[in-house]
Structure 1
Amino acid sequence: MQEITIRRPDDWHLHLRDGAMLQGILPESARDFARAIVMPNLVPPVVTGADAAAYRDRILRALPEGATFEPLMTLYLTEGTDPADVAAAAASGLVKAVKLYPAGATTNSHGGVRDLDKVMPVLERMAAIGLPLCTHGEVTDPEVDIFDREAVFIDTVLSPLRARLPELRVVMEHITTEEGAAYALEGGDTLGATITTHHLIINRNHLLVGGIKPHYYCLPVAKREAHRLALRRAATSGDGHFFLGTDSAPHVDALKEHACGCAGCFTATNTMPLLAHVFEEEGALDRLEAFASLNGPAFYRLPANETRLRLVKSAAPHAFPEKILTEAGPVTVFNPGFPVHWHVES
């Protein structure tokens, strides 16, 4: 197959940052994606409906002229979050989900949740109104190995929470393990799971063998090859539990290439060609639309996009930019480490 046309995709987990970084990297997502669930872990975080409205306005002002891109806003769950404010923001149509960051789990998560009991009134209200909870599914106990944090989160946090509030709609964001994929598959219609582009391509060897590769460092960290293959099977299965959330996370090079480098892979620029490559390798190009364009809207109870996106395969590899230059500094684009012959036809 030399070309494929699908409904325009959405990104169900995206970091747009703010200020000069937002201005520089927003066009990279707006080019191919119609909508995106926008992460709230700014400094300070997006905690209230008013915060979300102000952030949405800043995003819309930063859009290139003529771009058609809808930011779907989220709130950052804290132990002081007001259930009434969450319900009002959801009822207005502004907020589409609330994000659970265990305190200290990832970038700008220090204000996250330490005691789940303290946010149960919020979660109970969300369950009652059908508002999804997006979870960064890792425990932060220093005694738990970083490669085991997702599996332990499922056993000790997510399973008990869903048993306590079975009607709560939950998205397991950026799953990285066989255990995560298996749990999502058996989760019924109240559970979904996003999978990133980069976790379909890299395993922990890419990060560590031959020297540390800071631009492959992300959280959750890439796992063993068996887990990567399990994610590929899930993403390419067509099963409605799984949908695209890139977790595209820009950091300037100076903060990635650092003694304590930031976590995140920036994949907004080349995600769709990379996915076409992966799905072609798996003999599943006919299921790319389900993963990138259909399953996510179905879970979030939104219509699929009516516009289309066309991917074309060429004989020569397609050249993607190495970096996106922003007023905040250069941001390195994720390099898959192999030639990519697919591109989005503009």
Structure 2
Amino acid sequence: MTKLTIRKPDDWHLHLRDGEMLKSVLPHTSATFARAIIMPNLVPPVVTTADAVAYRERILAALPKEHSFTPLMTLYLTEGTDPDDVEAGFRDGTVTAAKLYPAGATTNSQSGVRSIDKVMPVLERMAEIGMTMCVHGEVTSADVDIFDREAVFLETVLAPLRERLPELRVVLEHVTTSDGVDFVMGAEKNLGATITPHHLMINRNAILAGGIRPHYYCLPVAKRESHRLALRKAATSGDARFFLGTDSAPHVDPSKECGCGCAGIFCAPNTLECLATVFEEDGALDRLEAFVSLNGPAYYRLPVNEERVTLVRQDAPVDFPAKVMAGSEAVTVFDPMRPIHWNVERTACPQGN
């Protein structure tokens, strides 16, 4: 196969940041994707419906005129979140989901949740109205190895929560382990999972073997090869519970290449090309559309996109930009560590981006 046309994809987990960074990275998503779940971990975070309205306006103001893109807003859950505000934002269509960050789990998560009991009134309201909780599925206890944090979270936090509140719709974001895959596949209802392109393409050797490579460091951190293979099997299976969430998370290079580098991989510019490569390698190109364009809308109870995008397989490897400029500073683009021969016929990014 040298050409593949699919429904325009959606990104069910995206970081756009704010200010100059927002203006620089948004076109690389909106050139290819129709919609995206926008992460709320700004500084300060997006905690109220009014915050979400203001952030959405900033996103739309930064959107290139020639691009058609809908930001799907989320709220950052805190132990002081007002259930009435959450419900009002969901019912009027302003807010699509709410995000639960365990405090300290990842970038700008300091205001997150330390005790599930303290957010149960919000979660119970969300279950009543059919609103999705997106969750960063890791514990943050110092006595838990960083490579085990997802598995421990599933056992000690998410499994008890689902027993206590089975009607709550949950998306386990950026699943990284076979434990996570098995947990989702064992659920009868109300549980989906996003998978990133980079967790399908790299394992922890990319970060640590041959020297520390900060541009492959993200959270949850990439795991051993057996987990990567389990993720690939889930993503390419066609199982409707798994769908794309890039977790594209830009940081300027000085914030990555330092003594305490930030977690995050900026993969928006080449996500679809990388995924086509993965699905081709696994003999599953016929299931790529389900993963990127169909399963997510079905879980979120939204219509699929009517627009199409076309991928073309070319003989020469695609020459992706190594960096994107955010103002005067560079943001490194995800390097999949192999030649990529699939290219997307997309709406061009404005000059300079």
> TM-score band, normalised by the shorter chain?
over 0.9
Q: Distance in 1 between matches of 2:279 and 2:273?
A: 10
Corresponding residue of 2:142: 142
The number of residues matched between the two structures is 346
Deviations 1:204-235 (A, max 9, x none): 01110000000000000000000000000000
Q: Secondary structure at the match of 1:270?
A: helix
**Alignment partner of 1:339 is 2:343:** no
- Within 5 Å, which residues of 2 pair with 1:299-318? 299-318=299-318
Q: Distance in 2 between matches of 1:9 and 1:205?
A: 30
- Within 5 Å, which residues of 2 pair with 1:40-51? 40-51=40-51
Q: CA deviation at 1:328?
A: 5.8
Corresponding residue of 1:232: 232
Report the more deviating stretch, 326-335 or 307-316. 326-335
**Percent of residue pairs bearing the same amino acid type:** 68
Q: Distance in 1 between matches of 2:345 and 2:175?
A: 30
Corresponding residue of 1:17: 17
The amino acid that maps onto 2:163 is A
- Within 5 Å, which residues of 2 pair with 1:165-184? 165-184=165-184
Corresponding residue of 1:163: 163
Q: Secondary structure at the match of 2:268?
A: coil
Corresponding residue of 1:270: 270
Deviations 1:11-62 (A, max 9, x none): 0000000000001100000000000000000000000000000000000000
CA change 1:283–1:53 in 2 (3 A) is same
- Within 5 Å, which residues of 2 pair with 1:4-83? 4-83=4-83
Corresponding residue of 2:88: 88
1:21–1:328: 8 Å Cα contact kept in structure 2? Answer: no
Q: Distance in 1 between matches of 2:224 and 2:66?
A: 42
Q: CA deviation at 1:115?
A: 0.9
Q: CA deviation at 1:160?
A: 0.2
Corresponding residue of 1:281: 281
Q: CA deviation at 1:67?
A: 0.9
Q: Distance in 2 between matches of 1:56 and 1:17?
A: 12
TM-score, normalised via structure 2 length:
0.97
Q: Secondary structure at the match of 2:269?
A: coil
Q: CA deviation at 1:186?
A: 1.5
Q: Secondary structure at the match of 2:37?
A: strand
Q: Distance in 1 between matches of 2:345 and 2:315?
A: 15
1:252–1:328: 8 Å Cα contact kept in structure 2? Answer: no
Q: Distance in 2 between matches of 1:20 and 1:135?
A: 27
**Alignment partner of 1:261 is 2:261:** yes
Corresponding residue of 2:213: 213
Q: Secondary structure at the match of 2:330?
A: strand
Corresponding residue of 2:3: 3
C-alpha RMSD of matched pairs (Å): 0.6
TM-score, normalised via structure 1 length:
0.99
Q: Distance in 1 between matches of 2:345 and 2:168?
A: 40
Q: Distance in 2 between matches of 1:53 and 1:329?
A: 28
The amino acid that maps onto 2:291 is F
**Alignment partner of 1:107 is 2:79:** no
Q: CA deviation at 1:166?
A: 0.3
Report the more deviating stretch, 185-194 or 134-143. 185-194
The amino acid that maps onto 1:221 is V
Q: Secondary structure at the match of 1:212?
A: coil
Q: Secondary structure at the match of 1:97?
A: strand
Corresponding residue of 2:123: 123
The amino acid that maps onto 1:135 is V
Q: CA deviation at 1:189?
A: 2.5
Q: CA deviation at 1:345?
A: 1.5
Q: Secondary structure at the match of 1:189?
A: coil
Q: Distance in 2 between matches of 1:156 and 1:68?
A: 41
Q: Distance in 2 between matches of 1:193 and 1:264?
A: 19
1:20–1:328: 8 Å Cα contact kept in structure 2? Answer: no
Q: Distance in 2 between matches of 1:297 and 1:112?
A: 27
Q: Distance in 1 between matches of 2:300 and 2:328?
A: 33
Q: Secondary structure at the match of 2:211?
A: coil
The amino acid that maps onto 2:208 is L
Deviations 1:238-262 (A, max 9, x none): 0000000000000000000010000
Q: Distance in 2 between matches of 1:23 and 1:269?
A: 14
Deviations 1:248-286 (A, max 9, x none): 000000000010000000000000000000000000000
Gaps of 5+ in 1: none
Corresponding residue of 1:245: 245
Q: Distance in 2 between matches of 1:39 and 1:244?
A: 15
Q: Distance in 2 between matches of 1:271 and 1:328?
A: 24
Q: Distance in 2 between matches of 1:42 and 1:318?
A: 33
The amino acid that maps onto 2:94 is L
Q: CA deviation at 1:66?
A: 1.6
